[in-house]
Amino acid sequence: MKGNFDMQGLMKKAQDMQRQMAHAQDDLKERIVEGSSGGGLVVAHANGARAIVGVKIDPKAVDPSDPSMLEDLIIAACNQALEKAHKMYESEMQKITGGMNIPGLFG
């Protein structure tokens, strides 16, 4: 038989990668990134698991006659934080996979 295929070795590598990914995902839950809008009037914090974990609103951003402006600032800050969290997540997963494109991994 030409070229030996090491199924056991492949399975071990897959299990090792799975363990590394689980560890990285736990670590990412603790890492926080920040997004802001309105020159810092609204600041959102997201973790590496891509969840918003906090929002700070400067009282100057609160205009009772224009709630839609505050809503827009919150959305923009959250979207920026989530984008940063997504990039951080992708970066960590690519370190583990060696840049391999694994379908569904970065969803």
> What's the pLDDT tens digit per position in 29-77?
999 999 999 999 999 999 999 999 999 999 999 999 999 999 999 999 9
Distance separating alpha carbons of residues 77 and 53, to the nearest angstrom: 12
pTM: 0.78
Domains of the chain: 28-97 (3.30.1310.10)
CA dihedral 44, 46, 52, 58 (to 10 degrees): -10
